[in-house]
Structure 1
C-alpha cells in the first residue's frame, strides 16, 4: 500500500490564496490535508467547511484558548491525536505562503522519498521569493507572479536557511512542530536518519534541535521550499494587519520585509508543476460554492486594504515599502563578522553565572 502524505496548515483570512495552495500540493502528491482556522473575516473558515464537505480536507476551528507559544503551536499540539494524523505515513506542517518544490522524478513528494529511501526526515530549506516591486494585489497565482528569489547560496541572515521537515510519522517524536518534530524519544533516535534537500545525511543535532540548514552552501538539489512571505505590497499591509503566524500580536514592519525581499536570481523551477496545478485549481473552481467564496474573499481583501490606508501607520508602511530597494547579499567577510558576534552572544547566554 503506498505511503500517505499529510500537509498541516493554519490559516486566518487566507481564502484568496487557499485554493492555489491546495491545488499545488494535491498536484505534488499530498493526499491528506488538515487545516486549522481562527478568527476569519474573509470566509476562509466557510471555504474550509465546503472543502471538508467535498472530502478534500479535514477542517478544525482553532478558536482558543491558546498555548503560551501562540496560535500555530496550539493547533499542532491539538493535531497529534486526530485520526487524520495518526493514519499518515509522512507529515509536513506548512504555511499558506510555502510551496513544496521537488526537483527529482515527477516532482512529487513520492519521488523525493524514493530518491532518499533511507530517510526518516527530510529538511526542505526555504528559498525566499521577494516582492520585485509589485504594488497591487491581484487575483493571480502567487507562484506565477513572483519569480525572483534569494541567491542559491546566502551567507546571511540565518533565517533565510530555515526549513520545514517532511518526516515519517513513526513515533520517533512526541509532538509536531512548526519547523521540525518535537519531543524526540531517546530510544528511537538511533534509528532516525535525517537528510537535507541536497541529499546529504545530517548530523545528530538535526535530530533534536536544529531549525535551519547550514548557510553558505547549496541546499536545493533534490528539493526546496518556495517561500513567498511578502507578496504584493498591498498584500503585505493585509499581512501586517493579520499579524505573524507564530506571534500574532507582533505587527509586521520593515525588519521582516528587508530580511525577506530577495530578488537577486530568477527561479521558475516550480512552473514545471503549473499544468497539474492549473488542472487541480480548475476542478476546485468548478464548484460554484468554492468559486463564490473565492470571489468574496478577493473582494474582502480589496475592501480591507482601503480601510487600512485610511490610517497613518499603514500609509506610512506602504510608503516605506515603495521607497526601500530589494535586499542585497551580505559578503562572506561581513557575514563572518555577524556570525562571530552571534556565537559569542550564544556562549554568554549559556555560560554559568560567576559567583560574587
Structure 2
C-alpha cells in the first residue's frame, strides 16, 4: 500500500518519543465498500495495547469511499502485536480486510515490506475466505429512503449475493437505512458517492464498482427496477443457463403504470402496481445488462462493454441496437425487469425534481402532467411478481424486525 496522501479525519493518543531513531510499525485495516466503524477510535483498547497514533484516512491508494485505520507504535513489534490482537476490538473488526503491514526507516523513507509482521497478522486477523457467490446488483440512489428497504429485500429474495448501494448526495434517511441494513446483512453495502462537477455520478459509481465486485456476474439497476426471474425462480438458476460464450445478457423492461392510483399512501411498490403497457409498447425495448464481471471493460446506464463474447437478450440470441440501451426486439419469456417509473403522479413529480444521476448538478427533469400521462400505461395486467411474495416477506421481516 503506498504511503497515504489522504487527509486525517481523526487523530487520537499521539505521543512524542524521546528516542532519536524511532522505528515504526504501521498496520492498516481496510474495508473496500464501507466506512470503518467510528467506535473503533473511541475505544481505549488500542492505546492500552501500545498504539501511539490512531488515524482514520481515505488514502489515494484505496478505492473511493474506503477508509483505513492506521495504527502506529514504537514498541517492540511482536509483543505489541500480541497485545493488539488480544483486544476485543481486534475481534470485532475481523470482517475488515488486513491490507498492509510494513516497517519504515527512522527517517520516514518509503515503506519496506515486513513479511514476518504481514504474515503474522494475516494468519490471526484476516477473515476466512468466502465463496464470492454468483451475482451482484449495483444501484445509485438519491433520496430513496421510502423505497430502499423494499428494493434490497426483493433482491435478496430472488438470490443476489451482494448488493452495493452508492448514495449520491441523499438528504433523506437513505444513508441511515442502508447503513443499518448493512449491519443486519453483510451482503448489503453502502458507499457514499458525492457528485463531482463535470462527471456523471452514475457512470463513475458503476465504473468504480467493477474494482470491488467479486462475483462472476453483475447487473446495474435503478431503485424503481425490480428484476423478476419468474421462469427460473432464482437468479442463480437463470444465470446457470447462460451459454459459456455469452458475455452479457440484456433484460427488457416491463413498464407499469399507476393503475389509477392517485395517492401515495401504500406500503409496497411490488404489492400495489400490477397494470402496465401492452408488451408491444416501444419503451419495453429498453434493457438493463447482466455482464460477466471479468470481461467488462466499461459501463453505461443501460449497457456494458465487454472484451469478448456474445451479447444477447434473455433468450440467449443476439440482437441489434436501435439506439444505445434500446434493442430492435424484446424478450419477456423467462425474465423481465418490472419498471415502476410512474407509481403515482405525486411520486413521479417528486422523483423528476431530484434531477438525473447521470449528470452532476442536474436540475429538475420534466415532471409535467403531460409526460406522466404518456408513461402512465395501464391497459394490461401482470401479477407474476406475486410468485415471490413469500420469499420477499421473509426477507423484509428479517431485515426490519
The TM-score normalised by the length of structure 2 is 0.62
Partner in structure 1 of residue 326 of structure 2? 212
Partner in structure 2 of residue 115 of structure 1: 241
Q: Which whole-Å deviations, capped at 9, do the CAs of 1:214-237 have from their partners, x for residues lacking one?
A: 24xx51001111000111222123
Is 1:178 matched up with 2:301? yes
Q: Is 1:37 matched up with 2:151?
A: no
Report the number of matched residues: 266
Q: Does structure 2 retain, via aligned residues, the 8 Å contact 1:93–1:177? A: no
Q: Does 1:270 align with 2:385?
A: yes
1:177-220 deviation digits (Å, cap 9, x = unpaired): 221113x43xxx2xx122212x14114x56xx8411224xx510
Using the TM superposition, give the Cα deviation of residue 31 of structure 1 relative to its aligned residue in structure 2, in angstroms.
1.0
Q: Deviations over 1:274-323 (max 9, x none)?
A: 1100110011110xxxxxxxxxxxxxxxxxxxxxxxxxxxxxxxxxxxxx
Counterpart selection for 1:261 from 369, 376, 382: 376
Q: Does 1:16 align with 2:146?
A: yes
- Which residue of structure 1 aligns with residue 229 of structure 2? 102
Confirm or deny that 1:147 pairs with 2:299: no
Structure showing greater relative contact order (alpha-carbon pairs closer than 8 Å, 6 or more residues apart)? 1
> SS of 1:100's equivalent?
strand
Match of 1:194 in 2: 311
The alignment's C-alpha RMSD in Å is 2.2
Pair 1:166–1:67, CA change in 2 (3 A)? farther
Quick one: which of 221, 245, 251 aligns to 2:365? Answer: 251
Moved over 4 A (4+): none
Q: What are the residue-to-residue correspondences of 1:1-356 with 2, within 5 Å?
A: 3-54=133-184, 55-68=186-199, 70-81=200-211, 83=212, 85=213, 87-105=214-232, 107-118=233-244, 119-154=246-281, 156=282, 159-171=283-295, 173-182=296-305, 184-185=306-307, 189=308, 192-197=309-314, 199-203=315-319, 210-215=324-329, 219-247=331-359, 248-254=362-368, 256-286=371-401
By percentage of residues, which structure has more helix? Answer: 1
Which one has a bigger Cα radius of gyration?
2
**Hey, what's the Cα distance between the residues in 1 that align with 2:201 and 2:219?**
17
What does residue 352 of structure 1 align with? none
Contact 2:353–2:367 (CA<8 Å) still a contact in 1?
no
Structure 1 portions without partners, runs of 5+: 287-356
Q: TM-score, normalised by structure 1?
A: 0.69
Give the whole-Å Cα distance in 2 for the aligned partners of 1:67 and 1:58: 26
